[in-house]
Each structure stands twice: as structure tokens, then as C-alpha cells.
Structure 1
Amino acid sequence: MADFPDPPPILPPDSHPGSWQPPPRQGVLGRLTRLLLLIIILLALVLPFTPYAAKIKRGLKEVAASFQTKPETKVITREVEVTKEVPKEVVREVVKTVEVPAPPEPLPSQYISRKEVDVASLFNGITVKTKLLTEEGNYASVERLDPDAYKAEFELSIRVPKANQTLGELARINPDLPKVLPGLETMLPKAKVSPFYHKLYQNKTTRIQRDLTRLNKALDRHNFFDCETILEMQHPVTQRRVMLIQSEMDVVADGSDGDRMPSLDEFIYMSDYYQPFTSYAWAKTSSTPNPLLKRWEDRLTKLKAEYAIKGLSAERNAYLKSSIQQVGAEITDMKNRSSLIAEKDPFIVISLLFRGYESQNPYAPRIGDYAAVIHGGRIFPAICGDYGPTFKMGEASLLMAKTVNEKATPYNRPESDLKVTYVIFPGTGTKPWKAPDLAVWESKCREYLNDVGGIGAGYTLHHWEDLFKKPEPPVVEPTVTSPTPPTSEEKPDAASPTSPADPATPAGGATGASSSVTPAEKPAETLAPALPAAGGQ
């Protein structure tokens, strides 16, 4: 295709040079600008005459002030570490328990037989197991007349302990015993358990059964197992018989003696089981009344006064009559006899089960027999001074108890374990009984201990101090008064017919009327040689 040149531009008629051209038309934006400017001018002219003039003036001043140059301020910042203790927040959760009562058991609609077992341990240590059996019976008015309709059947289970018999078994209770009494090794091979041991536990079991059958207070566990052994022994050489008992030591506070102790501690005679008498007693030797006589006489007066009241029950009258007879007999005994004093005399209590067997069993101890009490490595001389219950063993006077353990009281035993050995020499008591002579008691116990092998090396027999022994008055040396010799300034009276050298003449001279002195009127120095002889008799 051939190229053709562009045609020349066609100019509008008014574009020719030198011609007049009208001003160009303004657009809409220009018009609006001019209108806005006009409005601003009008407002500027009108606003000074309006209420807003003052506000506008203040606003313009603030704008102008904001453009003014401010002085430069240098800010120095110092960082300081401040430790603040933030309190710990303790959150406690409170759980509120609301008890909702359980609904009652559903009521039975008919009779339901029951078979239940309950087990409990009583205050005395006995474990009780009850088995409840029920069955439907007849009418209540009929069953209440039948003894078998409401009954209890007891089956008591007790293990009776066996007795110690060998040296090793005895030493298990007291390791010092073979060394304290070396003669045991010689006597034990032929020793035998005493029938009294079996009788003791027979008495215990019989009593427990009787008490439980009647729902009475039964013997507690501690007092049931209160005897480890009772052995009968005889030394092969001396033929000395010995009854050996291993038990505990309860405390007896009984006894009174106005001759030796006119007053008693209220703490003693107000104890629960106190009795003013002991089995070992003797005739009074003085007119000093028994310290409890007045109390017993007052008791007798009250009993007689109540017995005289009319209308008492037959049971009460029988009790009062029996009490009057008993208290009257005790008052008679107080007026005529004295007893051991547990607080002052060392003695042991033997069971009443021994009494009455003296003629049948040569080992049966009696009141007044001598005994040695061994606790650890200590040996105490004593006598059998009182009887105790037939179902208990192991008891001694308060003096003995406090010597074994200073904390002992009528209510607190010195030894609760079966660690006390009582060595009794049956048939050694002597009569007539009399107030304790502790020196004799000690001598007798030593003699009988020597008969069965003696006391081991390193051990000694305890020496009791006589708490009633009156202190011996101090020996007063006689004073010899010597005559005062005349001084050089004094001269014998020339008128005296007696020579100054005459011993009958008083020092310093005397008149003739007074110079005659009978032997009874001799100065004291002439009788002085006879005084030492009188004091030594």
C-alpha cells in the first residue's frame, strides 16, 4: 500500500492570530470556590456583631499560642527499685455440713427370729461374748411365769496358769534370785508345786463363776493372775522346810496399838478397806486407849439408836442387830488387845486358804511364822502378820511397801508385776505373841536363811529401824566442886577453936558455934567419889 502525507490541521476560526477571544468559561469547582470565599468574608464581617465573637477570639488566641516556641525542658529520670510486700491471699474453704436425719427403720410386719453375737471387754479385763437367741413363744401373760422364757446361759473360758518349778523359771521372774539364795539349787530338784497353788486357782474360778451367775462384780484379770508359783521345799541337810511364793505386792494399811501409837493418821484409817485389827495381836500393856476406840463407840451408839426405831424392815433390823454385835466385840478387843501397825511394822499377809491345814500339811504357814521378802537383790525380814482373802496372794504392810517403792500408798501397790518372792519358814512362830522386837525378827530370819543355804555373796539382809524406840538419855558426867582456897589477904579467925587445916572448917573461917559439921553436912567434894559409881550402874 502507498503512503500518503498527513493533511494539514484545520484550525477553528477564532484561533487565528490577532483576533478577539472571549474569556473561557469557569467550571463548577471554580464557582463553588468563589461562593465559599464570599461566605467566609461575609461571616467575618458579621461574626463580630454576634454573641459568638468572644469565643472565637479566645479560640484564635489559643491556636496562636500553640505555635509559639516553648523553652526546652530537660527531664532526668532516676530508677529506684522498690520492694513491696504483697499480702498473701488466704483462701479458706468452709464446708458446711448439713445433717439430714436418717429415715427410721422399717417396722416389722410380723415376728422375726434373731441370732446375734456381741463381744465386749468389761472394766475388769474379762472379755465377754454373748449370743442372743430368740424364738416366738406364747402370750406375755403366760411367758412371764415361765423361768425358761427369759434366761441367760454363761460359758466361761479361763486358762489357769501353770506354776514355775525350775531354777530357770524362777530366775525368769527375778534374775537375782539364784544369787540371793544359792541354796535354791540344792532344794529345787525335790521341790514340788504346792497343793495350795491349785487350791488358790480353784477358789478364783469358783468365785468368778458364782459372781457372773449372779451378775455381780467378778474378779478382774489382774487379780486372777496374781500368783506365779507356790513351791514346797526342804533343805536336804538341815531339813528346814520352806514355802516359796512368787507374786505381786498389794498394800495393807490395817492395825492399831494405843500402847505404842496413841494417834493415827486420818489418811490411813479413812481408807476404804481399813481395819483396826490384825490377826497377830497381844494383850495391852498400858491404860492408853486405842486411838479408834472413841470412833467405834460413837458408831455403836448410832447403831443402837437406829435399832430402837419402830417400824423398820425386818431386813434392816437384822443388819443392825448383826452390826451391833460385831462393833461391840471389836470395842471389847480394842480395850484389851493391841495389833500390828501396818504403817510402822514389817509384815506380810497370807491367804486364808492356808488356815485349817496346819495339821494336814507341814508346809502350811501360820500367823507369827518368820519370812523373808525378796525384791530384786534386796532381802527384807518379816513375819506373817495377817490373813487375807482365800482367792488372792501377795500382800505386805505399808511400811514394807514404801521401803520397796517410796511411791507406794494404801491405794498404790509398790510392785504390780509378779516379781516379789516370799520365802516363808512354816512352823517357826513363837508364842506368846507380843509387841514387835525387830532385832529378834531380823536375827530369826537370818538364822532360818542360813538353814537353807544362806545369803549369797554381795547381798545383805535389810535392817529395820525401830520407829517406836525411845532415844536413850545422854550420859551426864558428874560435876566436882572444889573449895576455894583462902587468899593471902585473908587470915584465919584467931578466935576459932578449930585449926584452918581441919577439913571440917569452911574456907574463910567460921565461928565456934558453926564449926561443928556432921558427916551429912560435909561439902560436896567429900561425896564426889561415889557419883561415878552410881552413874555407871
Structure 2
Amino acid sequence: MRFKTIMAPNPTPYKIDGVKRRTPNSFPWVTVFFAVSALVLGITILTPIPEKIRRRLGLERKVTPPSRKDAPKPDVIYKDRVVEKKILVRPPYYEVKKGTDVSKTSRGFDYKYEIQEKAGRSASSERETDGTYEASLTFSIVRPEAARRLDELIKQNPDLPQILPGLENLVEKSRVSPFFKNLYDNKKSRLKLYANRFDRVLTKRNYFDCETMLELEHSQSKRKVFLFQTDMDVVSD
């Protein structure tokens, strides 16, 4: 007796016999694993943990500080300042040549002298002491007054009334100019400055060279006149 097997037709032509069909609703564990790993790795990068690991392994990056240019220095303005320092300097010695008559170096001054002596200590002690052997030089001068009358003016020039008619009326109300005082102030200062220089001291003639300085005014025209009378051989004031 023969049997014949008849197979039922496959309803799905693309289905392979013997292969089980995967469950379509299984949970994607692999995808979740990679997603969680990526999230943890990203958070770890943002933390100081990677920097600590690099330090442990000696892989720390050397950060070169940016080069900065020095700020330009402001210009320093130096101001001159005068600092006065007082230094006591002994006056220089005036050397007189041997055989010279000291009175002839007085530049017209009346030369007077006297010797003053007083008791002291031993010679060796007094030899090392200042002021035990010295000469004092004192200038005694007289300041002249300005000539204002006509009889005083004609002493220097008798022809002055003929040269300047009406001078007698002008000098009646004359006024001594302040320049006359300034002139003799300068002469005094010069004597003080060169007191130890006989070659620079004014001579007697040069000291008494200015007779007057008057400010005059005409009574009618009111015009002003400056009268300067002097006997100057050298202009040095």
C-alpha cells in the first residue's frame, strides 16, 4: 500500500522554512548602552577628571602665557631746582710784590694804618689760630648829593647858562631824579663786590664823577627836560 505525502502550500512565499521569526517588539539594549556611554563620556569631559588623568600620566599641556607688551612709560619732565648751599670760603690773600708801597695800591683812597696788639698764648698756639695776625680793610666813603642850584652846576661848566638859556628858571622847581640814587647804589655794590681786588675797585675820580640828575619842566610849555651832568672818562656804571 502506497502513501503519498501532500504538502500544504506556503501562505508566505518569502518565508524560509526552519528559520524562526524574530520578535519584532524586543527592547534595543545595544542602542541604549551606546547612548548612555556617550552621555557619561560627554559629562566626564566637562569635569576636571580628564585633567587629573593627564597630570598623573605626565601629559599636562604647557600653556605659554601670551606675550604682553610693556606699557609705554610716561615722559618724565625734569624741572630745574635751585638748591642753595652755604659754603664758608676764606677770602683769598692779596699778594703784594716785594718793595711795593701799599699806599700806592689804594686807588685814590686816603691810606691810614695803626698797629693793635694784645696778650696771647704761646707762639705755636697762636700760629695755628685764625685772626691772630691779620689786617682789616675798611672802606669809608661819602655819598654826594645832587647839585640843584645854578651856582653848583656852573662849577663844572661855566658856559652852561649860555648853552641852555633859561636854565636858572628851570632849576628853581627841579626835582632830583631817582636814577641819581640808583647810580650810587650801584657804585656801593661794586665796591663791596671787589673789596679784595684793588685792580677792580673804583678810583676816587670814577666814584665822584656824577654831579647831578635833575628832572626839569618848562613853566609855560610844560615840556619836560632831563639834565644829566657828569665828568665821566669811562662809562662803567
TM-score (norm 2): 0.48
